[in-house]
C-alpha cells in the first residue's frame, strides 16, 4: 500500500460522505432523546416503516411527490398513535420503562410495515443522480453530495428550531422534568406528538437516502446499530454532535480500513466505529458535544 495525498483525500471525502448517511439516522435518536430523555430503540424500525410506506405507495402508482407527502402524513399518524397508546399511560415513569416500551414499538412497526407492504426487497428510485464526478484527481459520487446537502439543510433547520424557539425550549424543558414542565403549562402530549413526528420525518429522509442506496428491505431497520457509535461520539443530546459524530465515524472507519487495515489483516471497518465509541465512553461519557452531566449530591 503506497501513500499519496490525492488518494488519502479521496478516501477521506468518501468516508465523510458515508458518515453523513449515518448522521441522518442518528439525528432521529437525538431528537427524541433531547425531548423526552428516552432512547428510542424504534428509530431504525421507523426508518424501515417510512421507506416501506413510500415505496409501497409508489408501486401502487402514486406519483413520487404525493407519495412522499403521504408517507410524511403516515409518520405523523404513527407519532400520534405512539403518544396515545404508549407514552401517555407511561407519563412520569423512569426512562428505562419508556426505553423498554420503545423496544415493543420496534417489534410492532417492523412487523406491521412488512404485513402491510410485504417483505420483498423493493428498489427505490427517486431520480437522485448517481454518477461519479471528478474534482481534479478526486472521485466523488454525486448521490453522496445530494445526501450531504439534504443532511446539511435538515440539521440547520433542526438546530435553529431547538435552540432558538419557544417550542425548542419547551422540548428541552420536557426532557429535563415532566412535572415541572406541566406546572408551567407545557402541554406534554402535544410536545411528544411534535417530537415523534419530527423524528418520523427525519426517519423518512433517512429511509429515502438509505433505501435508494441499498434497496428498501428489512436490513434498513438494522442501520440503527450503526447510529449507536455516532451517538456515543457526538453525544445523545447534540444535533450538531450527531452530524460531526457521523462524519468522524464515516471518515475514521474508511481511513482505518484503507491505511491501517492491511496491517491487521483487513475488515476493520466493521468494528472500528464501535471501538472508537468505547474509547470515547471511557473518557467522555456524555460524548464530545453532549450536555454536561451535572450531579449534585
Interface contacts to other proteins, rule CB under 8 A: 157, 160-161, 164-167, 169-170, 172-173, 175-177, 179-187, 190-191, 194, 237, 291-292, 294-296
Neighbours of 261 (CB within 10 A): 18
Question: Residue 72 Cβ, how far from other proteins at the closest point, in Å?
Answer: 16
| CA-to-CA dists, residue 130 to 6, 7, 148, 202, angstroms | 22, 21, 13, 22
Question: Residue 37 Cβ, how far from other proteins at the closest point, in Å?
Answer: 10
Cβ closer to other proteins: 270 or 295? 295
Q: d(Cα 99, Cα 106) in Å, to the nearest integer?
A: 11
Cβ closer to other proteins: 172 or 284? 172
Question: Residue 176 Cβ, how far from other proteins at the closest point, in Å?
Answer: 4
Cβ closer to other proteins: 118 or 285? 285
Question: Residue 95 Cβ, how far from other proteins at the closest point, in Å?
Answer: 14
Cβ closer to other proteins: 194 or 244? 194
Half-sphere exposure of 92 (CA within 13 A, CB side): 4
Q: d(Cα 275, Cα 252) in Å, to the nearest integer?
A: 11
Cell numbers for 198, please give them: 419530527
Three-state DSSP at 216 gives: strand
Give ∠ CA 136-128-153 in degrees, rounded to 5.
Answer: 80
Cβ closer to other proteins: 217 or 238? 238
Cell numbers for 245, please give them: 459524530
Cell numbers for 264, please give them: 491487521
Residue 122 has what DSSP assignment? B
Cβ closer to other proteins: 109 or 191? 191
Q: d(Cα 175, Cα 85) in Å, to the nearest integer?
A: 20
Question: Residue 296 Cβ, how far from other proteins at the closest point, in Å?
Answer: 6
Question: Residue 47 Cβ, how far from other proteins at the closest point, in Å?
Answer: 24
Amino acid at each position: 500500500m503506497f501513500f499519496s495525498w490525492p488518494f488519502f483525500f479521496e478516501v477521506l471525502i468518501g468516508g465523510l460522505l458515508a458518515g453523513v448517511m449515518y448522521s441522518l439516522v442518528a439525528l432521529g435518536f437525538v431528537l427524541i432523546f433531547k425531548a423526552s430523555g428516552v432512547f428510542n430503540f424504534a428509530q431504525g424500525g421507523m426508518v424501515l416503516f417510512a421507506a416501506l410506506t413510500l415505496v409501497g405507495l409508489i408501486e401502487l402508482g402514486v406519483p413520487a411527490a404525493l407519495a412522499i407527502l403521504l408517507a410524511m402524513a403516515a409518520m405523523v399518524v404513527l407519532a400520534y398513535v405512539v403518544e396515545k397508546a404508549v407514552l401517555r399511560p407511561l407519563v412520569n415513569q423512569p426512562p428505562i420503562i419508556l426505553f423498554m416500551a420503545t423496544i415493543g414499538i420496534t417489534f410492532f412497526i417492523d412487523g406491521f410495515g412488512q404485513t402491510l407492504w410485504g417483505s420483498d426487497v423493493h428498489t427505490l428510485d427517486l431520480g437522485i443522480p448517481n454518477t461519479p464526478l471528478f474534482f481534479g484527481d478526486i472521485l466523488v459520487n454525486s448521490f453522496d453530495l445530494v445526501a450531504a446537502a439534504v443532511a446539511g439543510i435538515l440539521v440547520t433547520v433542526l438546530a435553529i428550531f431547538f435552540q432558538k424557539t419557544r417550542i425548542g425550549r419547551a422540548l428541552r424543558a420536557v426532557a429535563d422534568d415532566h412535572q415541572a414542565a406541566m406546572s408551567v403549562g407545557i402541554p406534554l402530549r402535544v410536545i411528544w406528538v411534535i417530537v415523534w413526528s419530527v423524528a418520523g420525518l427525519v426517519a423518512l429522509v433517512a429511509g429515502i437516502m438509505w433505501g435508494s442506496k441499498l434497496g428498501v428491505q428489512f436490513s434498513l431497520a438494522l442501520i440503527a446499530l450503526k447510529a449507536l457509535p455516532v451517538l456515543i461520539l457526538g453525544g445523545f443530546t447534540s444535533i450538531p454532535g450527531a452530524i460531526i459524530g457521523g462524519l468522524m465515524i464515516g471518515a475514521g472507519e474508511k481511513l482505518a480500513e484503507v491505511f491501517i487495515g492491511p496491517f491487521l489483516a483487513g475488515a476493520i471497518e466493521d468494528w472500528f466505529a464501535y471501538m472508537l465509541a468505547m474509547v470515547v465512553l471511557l473518557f467522555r461519557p456524555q460524548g464530545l458535544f453532549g450536555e454536561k452531566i451535572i450531579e449534585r449530591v
